[in-house]
Amino acid sequence: MNFRYYRIITILALLAIIDLSFPRHAYAYLDPATSQFLFNILVAALLGAAVGIKIFWYKIKLFLKKLFPDKR
């Protein structure tokens, strides 16, 4: 099969998957607790990222020093 056709088929398959992943109509009720739950997930993700950065800060700092060396 030609690479061009393979690429077209791949793009069409991905578009079909994306299209089928999102429903057209959501017959659901979102109560006030749902927004609080989503807010809690957001806060937990931010705090988890902050703790992860704190734990690995020394390694991150070394990586950035290698990436951007001091030019004095």
pLDDT in tens, 21-38: 888 887 778 788 888 999
- The verdict on residue 63 lying in a domain is yes
Residue 19 burial (C-beta neighbours within 10 Å; 0-12, 13-18, 19+): exposed
- The verdict on residue 72 lying in a domain is no
3-state class percentages of the chain: helix first, strand second, coil last, to nearest 5: 75, 0, 25
Please check the confidence at residue 70 and state whether its pLDDT lies above 90.
no
**Does the global pTM surpass 0.75?**
no
pLDDT of residue 57: 92
The domain in which residue 43 lies consists of 3-67
Euclidean distance between CA atoms 3 and 20, whole angstroms? 26
Tally the domains of the chain: 1
Output the six-digit token pair for 7.
């690429």
- pLDDT, mean over the chain: 88
- The verdict on residue 59 lying in a domain is yes
- The verdict on residue 7 lying in a domain is yes
